Amino acid sequence: MSVEEEPSADVDATEEQPPRTRICRICSVEINAASARCPYCGARQFKHQPILGWRGALVCMIVAAAAVFATRALEHGGRMTFAPFLGSNLALLLPPGYQDLNATSQHGTATASFADPGNAANSEAIVATVGESGTPRSRMERLERTLANTPGAVRGSLFRVVFPGGLVAFEVPYTEDRIDYAVFAFNACGGAIGVRVTISASRASSLDALSLVLPQNAQPRCDGPAFSRVDRADTSVPLAPR
């Protein structure tokens, strides 16, 4: 998975040379480009690190197995396991111990939410909507504007993410109430369905690890009943005779 930082709308894009400073991904203060942590808010800067060494090889194995939705749990870094969730509308991976929150939605949208019962700050949610308005980038830019007007929310930069296979997504990380979040937006099913994946964690290191695995493996099932032209829960639609 490759990640590129996208320029913000309020940043001058006419600079002739790359600056030797960078913007903190959390508090947006300009800092030394070589700084591993922001001296103002303390946030680790190099959130997205290249996959290297034997740990990186394990991650690659996890992603390859998850892409075909293996029926066994997958090992990540020798510490964390992921189990597949295969619903009628959505398919995704779950960290250990996460429980279904039984989220519901109207026809045309499929929603699934999960959380760690021992720590509600650790959660995963996916929302997939037929005919979602706007592009994935514009949807994340809209989220940026919302966060900018949310008291207590500290947002990071907008990132362009390329999943294995070439699928392009956009990510906005932010912190609120001492919980770290990462929100990803992309289109699936030939662009017919807009997907939004939200991950939260009580520790930034945990969020970083989850962000490498969960978003790219959260996908709608294109032929799912929630995405059909007929609402199968609509009692006015007669059932086909047996």
Tokens 């090992």 sit on residue: 75
pTM score > 0.85 for this model?
A: no
- pLDDT average, residue stretch 20-47: 64
CA distance 167 to 219: 12
**Is the Cβ–Cβ distance between 193 and 187 less than 8 Å?**
yes
User: Looking at the predicted structure, is the pLDDT value of residue 239 above 60?
Assistant: no
Domains in the chain: boundaries: 82-225
User: Looking at the predicted structure, is the pLDDT value of residue 206 above 70?
Assistant: yes
Neighbour-count burial of 49, counting CB atoms closer than 10 A to its CB (0-12 exposed, 13-18 middle, 19+ buried): exposed
**What CATH class is the domain 82-225?**
alpha beta
What's the confidence (pLDDT) of residue 81? 81
The tokens describing 147, both together, are: 């966060």
What's the confidence (pLDDT) of residue 172? 96
User: Looking at the predicted structure, is the pLDDT value of residue 12 above 70?
Assistant: no
Position 149 confidence tier, pLDDT thresholds 50, 70, 90: very high
Position 90 confidence tier, pLDDT thresholds 50, 70, 90: very high
